[in-house]
Amino acid sequence: MISLVLPDRSRWPSWVDAIDEFGGAVLHGFSTFGFDAQELRFPDAFDRWLNREIRQRTEGQGGFVPATVWWIVDDVDPSYVLGSIHLRHELNDVLLADGGHVGYGIRPSERGRGVATAALELCLYQAQQRGITRALLVCESDNPASRRTILSAGGVLENTSGTFERYWVALNKPRNPSSARRNIRE
C-alpha cells in the first residue's frame, strides 16, 4: 500500500536513484530548487537540502511559500522511493498562475501502476487537514497521465493558460486516507 513519508537519511540513496531515472528532466514535486541533482549525491549537500525542507514546513525558505515534501513509498519495500510529492501550504501569484498546491513526480520505472493517484489522494488529505478547502492542481497540456491523475482526484478544469491546464479539487467532503493506501498494480 502507498504511504507518504518525510525525507530522511535512510532512504536518501533510493531518492537519488529515483532522481537519476529522470535523466535530467524536470523533477516535479522533488523540491530540489537551488540544488543540482549531482550535488545531492553528497552527504553534506543532502543534509543542507533536508534541513531546508524541515524549515520549509513552517516558514517559506528562499522566497518560496511554506510547503511539505514527502517521499512516496510502498509498504512492500518502504526503503524504496517510488517518487516525491510536494504540498504548498498557500498560493502566491506565481503558484496561482501555473504552479498550484501540489507537484509530484513518479520515477519512470514505477509509472502506470496507480502510484501517483494514491499519492495525490494522500496529499489532498494532508491539504484538507491543513484547512485548505480547494486545491489547485496544474499540469502541462501534453501530459495526459497527469491529467488523468488530477481528474481521478475530482479535479475540475478551470482553464488552460499557455501550456498549462488548471484544475480545482474541492476538499469540502471528508477524504479517507486509508482508501488511498490501496495496493498498487503489479
Task: Summarize pLDDT for 57-109 with one digit per residue, the tens.
Answer: 999 888 899 999 999 999 899 999 999 999 999 999 999 988 999 999 999 99
41 lies in some domain: yes
Beta-bridge mates of residue 83: 72, 106
Q: How open is the CA angle 67-161-134, to the nearest 5 degrees?
A: 40
Structural domains counted in the chain = 1
Beta-bridge mates of residue 170: 134
Q: Which domain does 26 fall in, by range?
A: 2-180
186 lies in some domain: no
- pLDDT tens for 42-61 read 999 999 999 999 999 999 88
The H or E element that residue 68 is part of is: strand 67-74
- pLDDT tens for 124-169 read 999 999 999 999 999 999 999 999 999 999 999 999 988 899 999 9
**Which CATH number do you get for residue 158?**
3.40.630.30
185 lies in some domain: no
11 lies in some domain: yes
pTM: 0.92
174 lies in some domain: yes
